[in-house]
Amino acid sequence: MTRSKVISGSILASAIFAAGVFVGQVAIPIPPAPKVTVGANYPNMQDAQRSLLQSYNYLIQAQKLNDLQLGGYAATAENLIEQADTQIGLAAEYAATHSK
């Protein structure tokens, strides 16, 4: 194998690796931050949503400090926070429409 083939192969391998890292960084969608959507009639649910927002912000900071290298677990946590936020909103909506 000639030296130029080895160099070409190394450059190609490096380019493929870099492209994979770039695509991996771009392809991971970050869910939107949770929002406090529950009205003042449900202060405990508002507090729960505020806590989720605070948790989300801490999680984003942790990802930044660790260069997004958290094994995919932080991304899963982000999705679960978003789901919990949605469920709290739906619970408040249900309570509002089914009150005694």
Q: Which domain holds residue 17?
A: 1-30
First to last CA, the chain: 82
Same domain, yes or no: 23 and 48:
no
User: Between vectors from CA 12 to CA 11 and to CA 13, what angle results, nearest 5°?
Assistant: 90
Asked if 22 and 46 sit in the same domain, the reply is no
Residues 25 and 40 in one domain: no
The tens-digit pLDDT sequence of the chain (100 residues) is 566 655 666 676 676 766 665 555 555 566 678 778 888 899 999 999 999 999 999 999 999 998 878 888 998 999 999 999 999 999 999 999 997 7
71 shares a domain with 90: yes
Do residues 12 and 44 both lie within one domain?
A: no
**pLDDT score, position 1:** 57
